[in-house]
Amino acid sequence: MTKNRREPRTYYHQYREPRVLFFIHEQSFSGLIIDRSVEGLGIVIPDEERDIKPGDIISSMYIVHPEKDYCVEGLTVAFAKRDDVARKINVGVMAAGQEQKDQLTAVFALLMEARKPAKKKRKKKVEEKKRGIHPDRIPASRMLNHYDDEAVKSRLDWIKEFYGINARYLKSNRLYPERVVGHIENYVGTVEVPVGVAGPILVKGTYTDGYVAVPIATTEGALVSSITRGARACNMCGGVKVHVTRQHMLRAPMFICQDMDGAINLQRWIEKHREEIIAKAELISSVAKLVRLEPVLFNNALHVKFFYDTGDASGQNMTSACTFFACEWIETKVKEYSSIKYRHYRIEGNFSGDKKLNYQNFILGRGISVVADAFVNERVLRRLLRVTPSDLVDGWRNAEVAAAQIGMFGANINFANVVAGVFTATGQDIASVHESAGGIIKVYCEGDGVRVSTVLPSLVIGTVGGGTSLPSQRECLEIMGCYGSGRVFRLAEVIAAACLSLDLSTMAAIASGDFVHAHERLGRNRPKKTLAKSEVNKKFISQLLYDKEAEVISAKTKDIDASAGVTSSILN
């Protein structure tokens, strides 16, 4: 390992370094590979006062892998530097010749290798080409047949051919392919996510007045139980009061002129023809209503924010179509004005904040804005949540300071868990979780208990359209009484109540010290495989030996101390 080396090197991150075992003069050394190149390796080993010096020949080095250890022979120690402070030795290992370089290259290629298309004979390649099978493209199908059984099978066969995956679970579902038309392309199957029912929550609002069970799709243990615990605490004290404050969906096309003067004139033209633009936009949809236009000027670009009421749909695609039609009409009218110097427009200029957490949507709202409020008395806090009012409030007061210090949008504990769980279960646009989960929770002492209040300013949800009509998703909406027209505000109320319930339960668990215990009990998914006594035999012990020439003659069992480990008892 020369100081002036020029070959490219790969450096491993801490805790991701490959382990090695190597032998010098029949002494064994173990350590970690810190970096590597085609020339050799950088290794760190514990300082055990054993002799290792430049020029030593490494008779064999084993690079450890969970499935198979790889051996390289004939390497040379280039340098060995002791670090007395860290109590370790930094060792540089060089490949003695081209044969060793090739060995190292082959070993690390095996360690890094992902699934790759298998190499095939020329004759088979020709046959694949005739059948239209290529490793660099998914089998094509006409749009009319894109979702039929034959097209789906061709894509699954392609996955099996080039990636060696049978995908039997992916393709095993009860969803008819034609049901996903308009929802996905290159369809091959479904992913099952466990769904649990949280609550029920006593929701008291304009569109909801009663107990609502909330389907949550998640793989996080303890989440459904925590929502249920928080809901029970609220229920025992009168439930969660909710109220929808506003609804609008935003699209923001961008118009480009030759200079700023042209953009200024375009802004004035749009303000003058506001009613005509609204009429054109609303021709495309019987649902969408354009309620406001807001031009924003920047140099020669004019961004125009279109604010819509979208009924019971989330409305991203609907408002895109309406805005496109309006922009096309604007273009036909202004392109001949010499004072405007119009060049072109783009349907989206990134001003709408679609699927991105941002201050505009947090302050002004995008989708549905909803508030929730609940009172929980001291008796319920102590008996059910095992926390006092003052401990709960003090804990969250300090957490709010931390939220401000890290620049959090709002301040909450885990609204995203509820939003993601409900979105997945009910066929919402999952990418909108990012902006929809931003919100604020506030808790303060009141009377003999605490008052908990929340706001979610940007819930992008719908009860019609999108994935809401898929069978399982529809059933989850129906459980909450939220499927179909006239139900989207009810869905917003339920989500807000669930977010309040979860954060109340979580902040109480943190304050009381139950948080980790609950996740250890309900949220850990440990491997279930254990080592049976019958498996500790000659073959098992042989696999533990690095010297592959060694042979285990016999292996006998004996009673051991139950508090001792299997390996330590064998060594004794």
- Do 315 and 332 meet the contact criterion of CB atoms below 8 Å apart? no
User: What would the two tokens of residue 266 be?
Assistant: 């375009």
- The residues, any chain, with a CB within 8 Å of residue 265's CB and separated by 6 or more, are 257, 337, 339, 340
Under 8 Å between Cβ of 544 and 247: no
Secondary element (H or E) of residue 244: strand 240-251
- The token duo for 273 is 């023809």
Strands 195-204 and 240-251: parallel
Q: Which residues contact 543 (CB under 8 A, 6 or more apart)?
A: none
Local structure of 541: helix, strand or coil: helix
Q: Residues 47, 220, 282, 309: which is the catalytic one?
A: 220
What do you get for the CA distance between the two ends of the chain, in Å?
41
Q: Could you tell me the CA-to-CA distances from 247 to 139, 409, 545 in Å, in that order?
A: 43, 20, 68
Contacts of 51 (CB under 8 A, 6+ apart): 27
Q: How far is CA 554 from CA 59, 539, 542, 558, in A?
A: 28, 10, 10, 13
429 is catalytic: yes
Q: Report residue 312 as tokens.
A: 């019971």
Task: Return the structure tokens found at 220.
Answer: 């996080």
Active site residue 519: yes
Residue from 52, 34, 51 nearest 43 by CA: 34
For residues 183 and 433, what is the distance between their CA atoms, to the nearest angstrom?
18
Is the preceding peptide bond at 194 cis, omega within 30 degrees of 0?
no
Tell me whether residue 309 is one of the annotated catalytic residues. Answer: no
| DSSP E strand boundaries for 355-438 | 367-377, 410-411
**From 134, 146, 243, 519, active-site residue:** 519
**Catalytic site residue from 56, 312, 373, 429:** 429
Beta-strand ranges (E) seen in 461-536 are: none
Burial of 371 (0-12, 13-18, 19+ CB in 10 A): buried
Phi, psi for 237 (deg, rounded to 5): -120, 20
- Beta strand extents in 310-446 (DSSP E only): 342-346, 367-377, 410-411, 439-446
Which of the residues are catalytic?
Answer: 220, 429, 519
